[in-house]
Amino acid sequence: MGTMDPESRQHVRTPPSPEIVEFVRPNTSDKVLYVSRISRKLPEEEIYFKLCKAFEQYGLINDVQVVKPPAQLQTSAEGQQEERLTECYYAFIKFYLARDAAKARAGLNGKYFTGGQPISVQHATKMKTREPSPLPYSKCLDLANHYLGMDGWTTRILSIGQDSESCQHDPNSLRYICVVRIEIRGWDMSCQGVGLGEKTLEPTRPQERVSLTRAAMKISVHRAIQNAFQKVILVVLGNGKVAVEINNTVPDGIPYSTEVGSWNVCAEIFVTYVYRGIVFGVSMFPQLFPCAIFWHVSPH
């Protein structure tokens, strides 16, 4: 068996180590880049879009934050204090994968130009230690679609209904609790989450009950999905493939009862009417529940 010479051994690349991605905001220095020397010649909005376009080619980005430096007081020749703007913006770019952040730093540091001058890209070393915070609903969808595919997971609403206890204490409180299940296709895995949505009806504006009810239900669904994703762990391998684990030690979100019956759920969501012995249910909230349902009514 032949041996590899030292020169050839140097060209053998070690595959990247697997990385764990959870549905929380990245807050470690290996995933957050500090970008400085950004020219002030461009509008702040244009800087944001340019940075997004430049950095997203290296991997999925969680957030791009462009910071406008504060004005500094300087003493004029006449001895008066004057405000003068510093020349450069700076920004923070958050990646989900440390290796994506490292590639972006190597590819863009001193090589990408804004307003005619090269930017500086370094890891953010002065990160405050904080507890990880859950991703917002929209970011959960982005992360799941990126690594699992848009058809790689589904959500199912198990129950949704008004909190009867809060109604008894305050009839103007529109408090809804939703339970959802996320199913990961191809892995035979699932997990549940519970979400709470609440709106308060002004007694002088009863006409807003339907719109506020819709808003409270929508919030409860989004928060339930958000809480369910807190149990999903993505393991991104060096070759780009993704493995999935479920952490069932994470709480569902809020205490809830599973005794909410399907009829109660339908009564909250659908307006029903009878035609020739058939009960039809038409969704009050087509953006949340676009389907219409129907079932047969027994003649007895």
How confident is the model at residue 279, as a pLDDT?
39
What's the pTM value of the predicted model, to 2 decimals? 0.75
Instruction: Return the half-sphere exposure (C-beta side, CA atoms, 13 A cut-off) of residue 252.
Output: 20
How confident is the model at residue 297, as a pLDDT?
36
Task: Answer yes or no: are the C-beta atoms of 192 and 181 closer than 8 Å.
Answer: yes
How confident is the model at residue 266, as a pLDDT?
39
Do the first three CATH levels of 26-123 and 137-260 match, i.e. the same topology?
no
Identify the CATH number of the domain defined by range 137-260. Answer: 3.30.390
How confident is the model at residue 57, as a pLDDT?
96
How confident is the model at residue 277, as a pLDDT?
40
Compare 59 and 111 and report the one with higher pLDDT. 59
Answer whether residue 293 shows pLDDT above 80. no
pLDDT band at 10 (very low <50, low <70, confident <90, very high): low
Q: What is the pLDDT of residues 159-202, one digit of tens each?
A: 999 887 766 567 788 899 999 999 999 889 999 999 999 998 88
Across 29-33, 99-103, 150-154, 279-283, least confident range: 279-283
How confident is the model at residue 260, as a pLDDT?
39
Compare 273 and 33 and report the one with higher pLDDT. 33
Superfamily in which the 26-123 domain is placed by CATH: RRM (RNA recognition motif) domain (3.30.70.330)
> For the CA atoms of the chain, what is the radius of gyration?
26
In the chain, what are the domain boundaries? 26-123, 137-260, 261-300
How confident is the model at residue 5, as a pLDDT?
55
Q: Across residues 272-278, what is the average pLDDT? A: 39
How confident is the model at residue 115, as a pLDDT?
75
How confident is the model at residue 276, as a pLDDT?
40
Mapping DSSP to helix (H, G, I), strand (E, B) and coil, where does residue 88 land?
strand
Q: What is the pLDDT of residues 240-272, one digit of tens each?
A: 899 999 998 887 765 544 343 333 343 344 433
Task: Answer yes or no: are the C-beta atoms of 27 and 132 closer than 8 Å.
Answer: yes
The sheet carrying 19-22 orders its strands as 19-22, 232-236, 242-246
How confident is the model at residue 259, as a pLDDT?
40
How confident is the model at residue 80, as a pLDDT?
53
